[in-house]
Amino acid sequence: MTEHVFEIAPSGRSKCRSCGGAIAKDSIRFGEVMPNPFGDGNMTQWHHPGCAAFRRPEPLLEALAADGYEGPDVREITRQAESIQPHRRLQRIGKAERASSGRAKCRACQELIEKEAWRLPLIFFEDGNYASSGFIHATCTTQYCETQEVTDTVRHFAAELAADDLDELIKAIMA
Ligand SMILES: [Zn+2]
Ligand SMILES: [Zn+2]
Protein backbone atom coordinates (compact mmCIF):
# COMPACT_ATOMS: atom_id res chain seq x y z
CA MET A 1 0.00 0.00 0.00
CA THR A 2 1.25 3.44 -0.83
CA GLU A 3 1.51 6.04 1.86
CA HIS A 4 -0.15 9.31 1.08
CA VAL A 5 1.29 12.39 2.70
CA PHE A 6 0.48 15.75 4.19
CA GLU A 7 3.27 18.28 4.15
CA ILE A 8 3.97 21.98 4.25
CA ALA A 9 4.34 23.27 0.69
CA PRO A 10 7.99 24.29 0.33
CA SER A 11 7.17 26.73 -2.49
CA GLY A 12 4.14 28.22 -4.22
CA ARG A 13 4.77 26.36 -7.44
CA SER A 14 2.64 23.24 -7.03
CA LYS A 15 -0.88 23.21 -8.46
CA CYS A 16 -3.91 21.53 -6.95
CA ARG A 17 -5.01 18.65 -9.20
CA SER A 18 -8.58 19.10 -7.99
CA CYS A 19 -9.21 22.80 -8.65
CA GLY A 20 -6.21 23.80 -10.78
CA GLY A 21 -5.31 26.62 -8.39
CA ALA A 22 -1.87 27.27 -6.92
CA ILE A 23 -1.04 25.80 -3.53
CA ALA A 24 0.35 28.59 -1.37
CA LYS A 25 3.85 28.32 0.06
CA ASP A 26 3.77 27.18 3.71
CA SER A 27 0.19 25.87 3.51
CA ILE A 28 -0.55 22.18 4.11
CA ARG A 29 -0.86 20.14 0.93
CA PHE A 30 -2.13 16.61 0.44
CA GLY A 31 -0.06 14.26 -1.71
CA GLU A 32 -1.69 11.24 -3.26
CA VAL A 33 1.09 8.74 -3.89
CA MET A 34 0.55 6.19 -6.64
CA PRO A 35 2.58 3.99 -8.96
CA ASN A 36 3.98 5.99 -11.85
CA PRO A 37 2.13 4.79 -14.97
CA PHE A 38 4.95 6.13 -17.17
CA GLY A 39 7.92 4.48 -15.49
CA ASP A 40 9.40 3.11 -12.33
CA GLY A 41 8.60 4.04 -8.79
CA ASN A 42 5.87 6.27 -7.49
CA MET A 43 4.55 9.69 -8.29
CA THR A 44 2.78 12.20 -6.08
CA GLN A 45 -0.16 14.38 -7.05
CA TRP A 46 -0.77 17.40 -4.88
CA HIS A 47 -4.10 18.84 -3.78
CA HIS A 48 -5.47 21.39 -1.36
CA PRO A 49 -6.78 19.09 1.42
CA GLY A 50 -10.19 20.80 1.19
CA CYS A 51 -10.34 20.10 -2.57
CA ALA A 52 -9.23 16.47 -2.26
CA ALA A 53 -12.26 15.91 0.00
CA PHE A 54 -14.40 16.42 -3.11
CA ARG A 55 -12.23 14.92 -5.83
CA ARG A 56 -10.21 12.18 -4.06
CA PRO A 57 -12.08 11.37 -0.82
CA GLU A 58 -10.87 7.79 -0.63
CA PRO A 59 -7.09 8.37 -0.50
CA LEU A 60 -7.67 11.49 1.59
CA LEU A 61 -9.58 9.50 4.21
CA GLU A 62 -6.84 6.85 4.22
CA ALA A 63 -4.29 9.56 4.85
CA LEU A 64 -6.40 11.23 7.53
CA ALA A 65 -6.71 7.89 9.33
CA ALA A 66 -2.99 7.16 9.09
CA ASP A 67 -1.36 10.49 9.60
CA GLY A 68 -1.69 13.38 12.01
CA TYR A 69 -3.16 16.09 9.83
CA GLU A 70 -3.41 19.17 12.01
CA GLY A 71 -5.11 21.70 9.76
CA PRO A 72 -7.82 23.77 11.47
CA ASP A 73 -10.33 22.31 8.99
CA VAL A 74 -9.68 18.65 9.83
CA ARG A 75 -13.22 17.96 11.06
CA GLU A 76 -14.81 19.73 8.15
CA ILE A 77 -12.77 17.97 5.47
CA THR A 78 -13.22 14.58 7.14
CA ARG A 79 -16.99 15.06 7.25
CA GLN A 80 -17.01 16.27 3.66
CA ALA A 81 -14.86 13.41 2.34
CA GLU A 82 -17.02 10.85 4.16
CA SER A 83 -20.18 12.23 2.61
CA ILE A 84 -18.71 12.42 -0.93
CA GLN A 85 -16.87 9.10 -0.87
CA PRO A 86 -19.81 6.79 -1.72
CA HIS A 87 -20.83 8.94 -4.70
CA ARG A 88 -18.43 8.10 -7.54
CA ARG A 89 -20.09 10.32 -10.09
CA LEU A 90 -20.22 13.30 -7.78
CA GLN A 91 -16.40 13.17 -7.66
CA ARG A 92 -16.33 13.90 -11.40
CA ILE A 93 -18.10 17.23 -11.55
CA GLY A 94 -16.04 20.37 -11.91
CA LYS A 95 -16.35 24.12 -12.11
CA ALA A 96 -19.71 25.22 -13.49
CA GLU A 97 -19.78 27.56 -16.47
CA ARG A 98 -22.14 28.93 -19.07
CA ALA A 99 -21.98 26.98 -22.33
CA SER A 100 -19.75 28.84 -24.78
CA SER A 101 -21.47 27.24 -27.76
CA GLY A 102 -24.57 25.15 -28.39
CA ARG A 103 -22.66 22.18 -29.76
CA ALA A 104 -21.93 19.96 -26.75
CA LYS A 105 -24.32 17.18 -25.82
CA CYS A 106 -25.19 16.50 -22.22
CA ARG A 107 -23.64 13.22 -21.06
CA ALA A 108 -26.66 12.59 -18.84
CA CYS A 109 -29.71 13.25 -21.08
CA GLN A 110 -27.94 13.26 -24.49
CA GLU A 111 -29.68 16.51 -25.51
CA LEU A 112 -27.69 19.49 -26.79
CA ILE A 113 -26.71 22.04 -24.15
CA GLU A 114 -27.99 25.43 -25.29
CA LYS A 115 -25.50 28.27 -25.60
CA GLU A 116 -25.32 30.29 -22.33
CA ALA A 117 -27.03 27.55 -20.31
CA TRP A 118 -25.25 26.46 -17.11
CA ARG A 119 -23.24 23.31 -17.56
CA LEU A 120 -20.80 21.29 -15.47
CA PRO A 121 -17.70 19.64 -16.90
CA LEU A 122 -17.02 16.00 -16.10
CA ILE A 123 -13.48 15.07 -15.10
CA PHE A 124 -12.58 11.41 -14.96
CA PHE A 125 -9.71 10.12 -12.89
CA GLU A 126 -8.13 7.03 -14.41
CA ASP A 127 -4.64 5.52 -14.22
CA GLY A 128 -3.20 8.56 -12.53
CA ASN A 129 -4.70 10.97 -15.04
CA TYR A 130 -7.43 13.55 -14.93
CA ALA A 131 -9.27 13.60 -18.24
CA SER A 132 -12.02 15.98 -19.28
CA SER A 133 -14.95 14.09 -20.63
CA GLY A 134 -17.71 16.39 -21.79
CA PHE A 135 -20.45 18.20 -19.91
CA ILE A 136 -23.80 17.81 -18.26
CA HIS A 137 -26.64 20.32 -17.92
CA ALA A 138 -26.74 21.93 -14.49
CA THR A 139 -30.35 20.73 -14.48
CA CYS A 140 -29.19 17.12 -14.99
CA THR A 141 -26.67 17.17 -12.11
CA THR A 142 -28.65 15.37 -9.40
CA GLN A 143 -29.84 12.75 -11.88
CA TYR A 144 -26.32 12.16 -13.19
CA CYS A 145 -24.71 12.09 -9.74
CA GLU A 146 -27.49 9.85 -8.37
CA THR A 147 -27.75 12.02 -5.26
CA GLN A 148 -29.39 15.28 -4.19
CA GLU A 149 -26.31 16.17 -2.13
CA VAL A 150 -24.50 18.04 -4.89
CA THR A 151 -24.51 21.66 -3.77
CA ASP A 152 -21.43 21.50 -1.50
CA THR A 153 -19.35 20.26 -4.43
CA VAL A 154 -20.80 22.81 -6.84
CA ARG A 155 -20.20 25.64 -4.39
CA HIS A 156 -16.68 24.48 -3.65
CA PHE A 157 -15.56 24.53 -7.27
CA ALA A 158 -17.61 27.63 -8.15
CA ALA A 159 -15.73 29.88 -5.74
CA GLU A 160 -15.03 32.43 -8.48
CA LEU A 161 -18.65 32.94 -9.52
CA ALA A 162 -20.51 36.10 -8.57
CA ALA A 163 -23.12 35.61 -5.85
CA ASP A 164 -26.14 36.07 -8.14
CA ASP A 165 -24.68 33.70 -10.76
CA LEU A 166 -24.16 31.13 -8.04
CA ASP A 167 -27.78 31.57 -6.88
CA GLU A 168 -29.03 31.06 -10.40
CA LEU A 169 -26.84 28.00 -10.84
CA ILE A 170 -28.00 26.38 -7.59
CA LYS A 171 -31.63 27.08 -8.55
CA ALA A 172 -31.08 25.37 -11.91
CA ILE A 173 -29.50 22.36 -10.23
CA MET A 174 -32.23 21.99 -7.63
CA ALA A 175 -35.12 22.70 -10.03
ZN1 LIG B 1 -7.69 23.03 -4.86
ZN1 LIG C 1 -28.93 17.01 -19.68
The bound ligand whose nearest atom lies closest to the alpha carbon of 108 is 2
On the question of pLDDT at 2 being above 70, the answer is: no
CATH architecture of 5-84: 2-Layer Sandwich (3.30)
CA of 50 to the centre of ligand 1 (A): 7
User: How confident is the model over 31-62, as pLDDT tens digits?
Assistant: 999 998 888 899 999 999 999 999 999 999 99
Q: Relative to the alpha carbon of 109, which ligand is closest?
A: 2
> CATH code for 89-174?
3.30.1740.10
- Least trusted range by pLDDT, from 56-60, 145-149, 158-162: 158-162
The 10 Å Cβ neighbour count of residue 98 is: 15
> Is the model's pLDDT at 67 over the cut of 80?
no
Q: Could you give the residue range(s) of every CATH 3.30.1740.10 domain in the chain? A: 5-84, 89-174
Does position 68 have pLDDT exceeding 80, yes or no?
Answer: no
Nearest to 174 by CA among 136, 132, 126, 138: 138
The pLDDT of 85-89, averaged and rounded, is: 97
Alpha-carbon separation of residue 57 from 18, 26, 48, 79, 143 (angstroms)? 11, 23, 12, 10, 21
> Distance, CA 138 to ligand 2 centroid (Å)?
7
Q: How far apart are alpha carbons 25 and 29 in whole angstroms?
A: 9
CA–CA distances in Å: residue 19 to residues 27, 58, 123: 16, 17, 11
Rounded to whole angstroms, the Cα distance separating 145 from 139 reads: 11
